[in-house]
Amino acid sequence: MIERYTRPEMAQVWSDEHKLDTWLRVELLVCEGWEREGVISAEDMQKIRGATYDLERARELEREIHHDVISFLRSVQERLGPEGRFLHLGLTSSDMLDTALAVQLQEAGFLIRHVLDTLHETVAQLAVRHRHTLMVGRTHGIHAEPTTFGFKLAMWVDELRRSRARLDAAIDDIAVGAISGAVGTHATVPPVIEEYVCEQLGLRPAPVSTQIIQRDRHAHYVTTLALIGSSLEKMALEMRHLQRTELSEAFEPFAANQQGSSAMPHKRNPEKTERVCGLARVLRGYAATAMEDVALWHERDISHSSAERIILPDATATLHYMLWLFNEVMSGVEVDEERMRANLEMTRGLIYSSRILLALVDKGMDRQAAYKLVQRNAQKVWRNEDQGAGLLAMLKDDPEVMAQITPEELNAIADPRAYLTHIDTAYTRLGLL
């Protein structure tokens, strides 16, 4: 985990102290389960409940024996008396590790969900505020037809809601524990203890486990994070495009003392949204690794463990940071409505070609004939043969067009507000109005 891209609350979830706290919590719950089964006396259990670990001692032992779980258990047992023999009774390392990991992944997922909800609310409010803020829509990077900035954001609202649903499903999928022994057969620990431990932790028992919880669950979780990251990249990329000098329609916030370039004092670069795009690439790499971890030898091997120690903390921290950062961008976004309107008119009426085509068809013209007629005049505008007058002027000077439609009808077509007739339908469907 890189501190630069990790929020404090997420760092706490993956801290060594919290990890070992969670390990100890699992171990104590297992002991409570054994007490319920009459294996551990109430007197011994009372002593076990006071168990603590020594982080530095655990690290010292691990340097010697090269096994983190054994080192942790020894650091705990060294602080107990004879009752320490009941710690880890009937378990294999992965029983404790995978169950504790599920708890941490849930906690990380809930943090991500919270900031995702915050971003959703920020974008939803902007979508409503700018639902009639006219701008040009672009396809292939070329001016197409009028749209609104709010409508663009409404699309993001819908996608953020899908992200939320996917995240909830992934958190639910990972919320399972396994206290089932060396190869998952419960030969050394009865299912009733697994059920008790999972209930106390807010998990479900994995219906079937080997020595580990199967890694398709973890792959589902990480690929979901990567997919949400890709959606954020799409949104951030759009904001980067809108900030380009040639467009200058929307800008990410720029602090009073912020500096954009070491060489050029005038620069105001979209560095926050560029950062979101870059981190999305990292997330997709983690997703590939998580899928590679699904296939293990027989009942288990340990090839997934080293990878997960990196990708699970990093993936959750990275997406959590990306969501927080993009919410900062959208909370402070500067929208230049006048520049949007100026850009809308930049092509001198070419963006109305589709509606003019439809009007000619409605008058009875053959569609292909009407298309060629409008295109012929549009190409003259592209070549500036009209000396800047625009498409409507060219059409009004074309006898073939005037034989089909009046100048007044052309003027009515060339009103960008006419494109907003049904735009509120999306808002109603999203529940934003």
d(CA 240, CA 235): 9
Residues 6+ apart with CB under 8 A from 36: 192, 193, 196
Q: Where are the beta strands (DSSP E) in 318-406?
A: 334-335
Other CB atoms within a 10 A radius of the CB of residue 132 amount to: 14
Token duo for residue 123: 């974008």
Residue type at 238 in one-letter notation: E
Q: How far is CA 249 from CA 90, 233, 265, 354, 415, in A?
A: 64, 19, 21, 24, 20
CA distance 252 to 14: 31
Q: How far apart are the first and last CA of the chain?
A: 41
Whether 386 has a pLDDT exceeding 80, the answer reads: no
Summarised one tens digit per residue, pLDDT across range 7-46 is 999 999 999 999 999 999 999 999 999 999 999 999 999 9
Question: Are 86 and 48 in contact, with CB atoms under 8 Å apart?
Answer: yes
Bridge partner residues of 146 (DSSP): 136
Buried residues in 189-209 as b, exposed as e (16+ CB within 10 A): bbeebbebbbeebebebbeeb
The predicted structure's pLDDT at residue 267: 83
Each residue's pLDDT tens digit, 176-208? 999 999 999 999 999 999 999 999 999 999 999
Report the distance separating Cα 89 and Cα 27, nearest Å.
Answer: 9
Query: With a threshold of 0.85, does the pTM exceed it?
Result: yes
CA distance 86 to 336: 68
Predicted pLDDT of residue 256: 77
DSSP state of 195: H
* Residue 327, both tokens: 């919410």
Domains delineated in the chain: 1-89 (1.10.275.10), 92-176+210-344 (1.20.200.10), 350-413 (1.10.40.30)
Query: Any idea which residues carry the catalytic annotation?
Result: 140, 261
388 φ/ψ sector (left φ>0, alpha ψ -120 to 50, else beta) = left
> 355 pLDDT band (50/70/90 cuts)?
very high
Closest CA to 110 of 328, 319, 327: 319
